[in-house]
Amino acid sequence: MKKQWQRLTDSLIGKKEYFYIDPSVYSFFKAIRCCIDKFAKGRILDAGAGRLAFKFIFTARSADYITLDKYVARGELDIVGDLNSPPLKGSQFDTILCLQVIEHTPTPQAVIKNLAALLKDGGVLVLSAPHLAYLHGEPQDYYRFTKHSLVYLVEQCGLKVLEIHPAGSIFGFLFTPISDFMLSYAYPVPIIFGTLFFINSLCIRLISLIDGLIFRNSLMPVNYVLAAQKR
C-alpha cells in the first residue's frame, strides 16, 4: 500500500485535487486556505516547502513567491537550505509559511526564531503543526503540539499571535485510513479510481461539515494553524 500511496500522491501533489484525498488533508487545506486568504501578501517564503503542495495557490497570488527546503523533492524548488541555519539574511519577507514542518526538527523554537528574523516589521508567520497524527517522515518525526505550546513558542520569538485554529478532529481522523486504503488500491485502475475519488470527495465534505458542527471545539484536533505577526 505504501508504494501505491506514494504513486497516488505524486500524481496529485501540487494540484487542488490532492487536498481531497482524505478528511485530515481536506480539513488542513480549509484551515490553511482561510489563513492564506486573510494574511498572505507581498514577498512570500514557503519555508520547508517539501513537494510544493501549495505552489499552485501562490504563483497565482504573488509574483514573489520563494520556496525553501532541506531536500529537493521537486525540481522547481528555489533554495536548498536548513531552517536551523537558513541561507537567507535580513528582514525581507512580508509573509512566511511554515506548514507541517516543526514536528520534523529537534529544535522547533530555533527554527521559529530564524523565521521571525526573516520577517519584515508587521510581517506574518503562518505556522501549522500536528496535534494528532500517525508517524510520518521517519525517523525525523519528533513532536506533536498543543495550541498552548505553539503560542508559547512564537511569543518567545517576539511574535504576536493573531489567531489560532484547530483543523479537523478525531472524527475525521478515524475515517482517514479508510480513504487512504481505498484510493491507494484503486489507483492502478483509472475508471474505478475516478469513481471512488468522486465518491470519496463527497464523503470528505460531509465529514468536514460534521466536524464543523459537532466537533468544532474538540479536545483532539488533527492539526493547529496559527498566524502570528512580527511586532
pLDDT in tens, 128-181: 999 999 888 889 999 999 999 999 999 999 999 999 999 999 899 999 999 999
- The set of cell numbers assigned to 220 is 483532539
The per-residue pLDDT for 73 is: 86
Residue 61 has pLDDT above 80, yes or no: no
Confidence of residue 217 (pLDDT cuts 50, 70, 90): low
Residue 60 has pLDDT above 80, yes or no: no
- Helices in 13-146 by DSSP H: which ranges? 23-39, 55-58, 108-118
Confidence of residue 224 (pLDDT cuts 50, 70, 90): very high
Residue 45 has pLDDT above 80, yes or no: yes
The per-residue pLDDT for 20 is: 94
Count of CB atoms situated within 10 Å of the CB of 91 = 12
Task: Report the chain's mean pLDDT, rounded to a whole number.
Answer: 92
The per-residue pLDDT for 14 is: 87
Task: Find residue 130's DSSP bridge partners.
Answer: 223
DSSP result, 151-209: HHHHHHTTEEEEEEEEE--HHHHHHHHHHHHHHHHHTTSHHHHHHHHHHHHHHHHHHHH
The per-residue pLDDT for 38 is: 93
Residue 98 has pLDDT above 80, yes or no: yes
Confidence of residue 75 (pLDDT cuts 50, 70, 90): confident
Residue 124 has pLDDT above 90, yes or no: yes
The per-residue pLDDT for 148 is: 96
d(CA 178, CA 73): 27
Helix, strand, or coil here: 10?
helix
The per-residue pLDDT for 59 is: 80
Output the furthest CA–CA distance in the chain (Å, rounded).
53
The per-residue pLDDT for 163 is: 96
The per-residue pLDDT for 58 is: 86
The per-residue pLDDT for 21 is: 95
Cross-sheet strand order for the sheet of 119-130: 79-80, 65-69, 44-47, 93-99, 119-130, 223-230, 159-167
Confidence of residue 126 (pLDDT cuts 50, 70, 90): very high
The per-residue pLDDT for 105 is: 95
Percent of the chain with pLDDT over 90: 76
Q: Give the domains, in start order, of the chain with CATH numbers.
A: 2-230 (3.40.50.150)
The per-residue pLDDT for 100 is: 96
Residue 215 has pLDDT above 80, yes or no: no
